[in-house]
Amino acid sequence: MASRMSALLIAGCSALVIGGIPPAAAAQSGGPDQNETSQAAEQYKNNKSTWEWIADTFCDLGNGPALDPRPDKDSGKTKAAGTNRKAAQDQFGDTAIEGYYKAYRITPVNYAQDPVVETRTIVFSEPKSWAPPAGFSDADELRLWRYLMCSNEQFRAEWAATLKTQQEKFAKKLKAEENGQILEYYNKKMAAMVKVLKDEQKRLGIAPEARDN
């Protein structure tokens, strides 16, 4: 059980923007201890274009690359306070970013504490350039997370390393042992993400691209 879950967790770190779906190359086949990882990778392989659409669309709905909601250093001189924050909110609304974050956290593993929430707390508490400004709402912070995940390699590396540590620290057991049940979690994650992104495109008047698996 421990080795099966460890393989699933390690592979799950490889696709940060979609959160927990390993690319097919990450799967190790040939034994029952790798069954969960292989099933997750197979789901990715069978739905590759959809997952790619999700990752691409999360970073650009069709209205430009993810915006940094933080104020410019000289915002008081050149822009009204909150200009960047408002622009980022207009680009990707509260309901959408909160819905995506909820879907991002769907997993077949049962944790003592949510490793994504723990990772977010740790990474954003670091005294680095990506710390959220005071007064940011939860949705503002999630839009900052979106911006950094989509544009900052150093942030992605920090997120991946911290997430892996938190996953291993808090993992208790798999919620579902059977292959079909495990796939249900990944299918649910995929469907939830697609719905959030297409609903937001519709709200913004952006025609969604058609994607075939």
d(CA 58, CA 92): 9
d(CA 132, CA 148): 11
Task: Give which of 117, 128, 119 is closest to 164, Cα–Cα.
Answer: 119
Q: Which two tokens stand for residue 191?
A: 């469907």
- What pLDDT, on the 0 to 100 scale, is given for residue 157? 86
- What pLDDT, on the 0 to 100 scale, is given for residue 144? 95
Average pLDDT, consecutive stretches of 10 residues, N- to C-terminus, the chain (213 residues): 40 47 33 53 82 89 94 54 87 98 89 93 82 92 94 87 89 67 85 96 84 44
